[in-house]
């Protein structure tokens, strides 16, 4: 079996081959699928990432969550740790770790009845996940095991099988532009 590093590189190359127009269309389809999930409808707070470098776009989902009256929080990384800080608009963001926009100020939220929308480099059909190598989501979710997790990716990033280690946290649901997969 290929290594995580090899699969990560291949998945990110596949993602990079998607045109901006195609990415916008696929991201809209993914957003529509998420909005139809009971996990979205029942969540009081949405934890989601700000997309960079060709990730599934989250802007439409963020704006819809605001319109739906949901609290929203995005990651802030400090010293190998990630927490989520509530934002109410794009003006709450500034360039942060790794050049990713993050909250300029604020205290970490208690995730409570939250739904997390999480990125990843690669996934498989059993919902194993390869992230970007920092372990931020794995550590956060180990500390907050009750947070509902929905990962998003383009279908081209989903493999039949990828290596997984015991500390790797699998999302409960994976949404692509073509399908919704549930963890068994």
pLDDT, tens digit (0-9, with 9 covering 90-100), for 130-176? 999 889 999 999 999 999 999 999 999 999 999 998 888 999 999 99
Residue 45 has pLDDT above 80, yes or no: yes
- Under a CB-based contact definition with an 8 Å cutoff, are residues 94 and 102 in contact? yes
- pLDDT value, residue 112: 82
- pLDDT value, residue 143: 92
Full set of structural domains in the chain with CATH: 4-182 (3.40.50.10420)
pLDDT band at 97 (very low <50, low <70, confident <90, very high): confident
Distances (CA, A) of 64 to 132, 165, 175: 27, 35, 17
Share of the chain above pLDDT 70, in %: 99
pTM of structure: 0.94
Residue 184 has pLDDT above 80, yes or no: no
- pLDDT value, residue 133: 87
Q: Tell me the CB-side half-sphere exposure of residue 132, using CA atoms within 13 A.
A: 12
Residue 98 has pLDDT above 80, yes or no: no
| Other Cβ atoms closer than 10 A to 162 | 23
């Amino acid at each position: 079996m290929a290594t995580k590093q090899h699969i990560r590189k291949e998945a990110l190359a596949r993602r990079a081959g998607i045109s901006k127009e195609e990415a916008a269309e696929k991201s809209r389809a993914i957003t529509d699928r998420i909005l139809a999930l009971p996990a979205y409808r029942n969540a009081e707070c949405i934890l989601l990432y700000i997309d960079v470098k060709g990730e599934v776009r989250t802007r439409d989902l963020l704006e819809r969550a605001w319109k739906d009256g949901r609290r929203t929080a995005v990651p802030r990384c400090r010293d190998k740790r990630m927490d989520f800080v509530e934002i109410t608009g794009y003006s709450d963001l500034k360039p942060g770790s790794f050049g990713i926009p993050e909250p300029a100020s604020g205290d970490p939220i208690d995730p409570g009845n939250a739904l997390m929308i999480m990125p990843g480099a690669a996934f498989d059909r059993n919902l194993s996940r390869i992230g970007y190598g920092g372990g931020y989501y794995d550590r956060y979710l180990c500390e907050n095991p009750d947070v509902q997790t929905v990962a998003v990716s383009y279908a081209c990033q989903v493999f039949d099988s990828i290596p997984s280690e015991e500390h790797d946290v699998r999302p409960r649901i994976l949404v692509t532009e073509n399908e919704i997969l549930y963890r068994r």
